[in-house]
Structure 1
């Protein structure tokens, strides 16, 4: 199993410049009130087929999510990797108001007796019967103009988690700008690519990178929406602009199709 999350080291790295952080004042979506940019914690629990999943579900549903909400986090999403690298694994998306809230969450959980009681089967597992195989944590910061989680309406949905990698900070900032101020998010929306969040990765193994989450009612709608996006004249013009082409600013993309847990708040 992996070592405990070193939250303060992650924050120190961000502050010192060892990870890139996009600058600029927070901006809201058009027509909405300006809001501070959320910090997203993406936990990935890697499992082994068997009883691990049931124990993790019980912990997240009955202990972690209620306690994290009491601590001011949320809404919290829980997703199974249905298609893509990493199965069996579970993503837990935890929005925090600030990076300080991310750092203080373990202390708040440790002082919450209801959390300790509900989480004991998971938290008290022995090395011979661990609760998960490993845990990875990625820290992200919401885009300036997409500063808050957008919770989709309706159940029975699928989600798509995508990460774009760049070869240097300038290229990474350019790709963020294409989405945040260059019109790409608007092209997404009008073609049925409904976003949940857009964020710059503050930690990770292939920085600089950005990550976003989309949602669709079903797989057929996803296929149609991506097809419409690819044929959109505005997108074709944008992607052909010198300095904005994929070979100039992206080095690769990771992609996963996710299904939400029944108790997921996203």
Structure 2
């Protein structure tokens, strides 16, 4: 009887040990990746731009914030005519993106605050059009990195690829090597996202912040001249990953939360 109990106990202990070893070998899943919605508004004049800005501040941003969504608002570096407006909405996950989109239109406070804007612009309009890019955050930066208060300049880059496989190899390059070098040389990441749907595909988009253009130029020079970049850029696995690079320089608007 004692021997039988001993064997039974040994089996339980062995099972627990194996279970413990298996549990120890399980890699914890990465943090849930954020979803980014990037909007580009095209206006005929600054009055239209200001009107949309008030709509965001008074109606849309409060309801989005209430639902856990942060909003960045940007204008172009240097005056442009006609003006263009840029907005970034940061959703915690794809499930939350879907939920919040529906919740906004059921929010009575939002509908009340936005009524005058909707009534007026339904007849006369307030922008020529807006474009939307929907993105999923990179594995290496699953959540947006809030920039310092000293940020005075943002650089938005869109990298297009000739096909989807090339685009995936560029994302791999960022995740495994390039982003670490960015941090070393002072190319401060705000977000990196794979474009899931938008006017430019296949492509990725990312945003960096700097105090000013002087810091931006100096730190990009460090990056391009670094031994690490020279080695990385020559690797066969990363050849022909980017076909077009688009750059825009932006400034945060007074009410931006990013």
Q: Which bracket does the TM-score occupy, shorter chain normalised? A: 0.7 to 0.9
Q: Distance in 2 between matches of 1:147 and 1:59?
A: 29
Residues 134 and 99 (structure 1 numbering): CA distance in 2 closer, same or farther, change over 3 Å?
same
Where 1:124 maps in the other structure, the secondary structure is: helix
CA contact (8 A) 1:194 1:214 kept: yes
Confirm or deny that 1:185 pairs with 2:179.
yes
Q: Does the 8 Å CA contact 2:158/2:246 hold for their aligned counterparts?
A: yes
Please identify, of 96-105 and 206-215, the stretch whose mean Cα deviation from structure 2 is larger.
96-105
Instruction: Tell me the distance in 2 between the aligned counterparts of 1:87 and 1:185.
Output: 35
Which structure has greater helix proportion? Answer: 2
Offset, 1:128: 4.8
CA distance in 2, matches of 1:86, 1:134: 16
Q: How does 1:1-266 map to 2 (within 5 A)?
A: 34-74=30-70, 76-82=71-77, 88-181=83-176, 183-245=177-239, 248-266=240-258
Larger-Rg structure: 2
Deviation at 1:134, TM superposition (A): 0.6
Give the C-alpha shift of residue 80 in structure 1.
Answer: 1.0
RMSD: 2.1
Asked if structure 1 preserves the Cα contact closer than 8 Å seen for 2:72 and 2:252, the reply is yes
Instruction: Report runs of 4+ in structure 1 exceeding 4 Å deviation.
Output: 83-87
Instruction: Compute the displacement of 1:104 (Å).
Output: 2.9
Structure 1: tracts of 5 or more residues without a match: 1-24, 28-33
Maintained 8 Å contact 1:83/1:256 = no
Count of residues in correspondence between the two structures: 232
* 1:161-218 deviations in Å (ceiling 9; x for gaps): 101111112211110011001x211111111100001111101233221110000000
Alpha-carbon contact 2:144-2:190 (below 8 Å) kept: yes
Report the secondary structure of 1:207's partner residue.
coil
> How big is the shift at 1:72?
2.1
Q: How far is the alpha carbon of 1:156 from its aligned partner?
A: 4.9
Contact map agreement 2:159 2:245 (CA 8 A) in 1 = yes
Taking structure 2 as the reference length, what is the TM-score of the superposition?
0.83
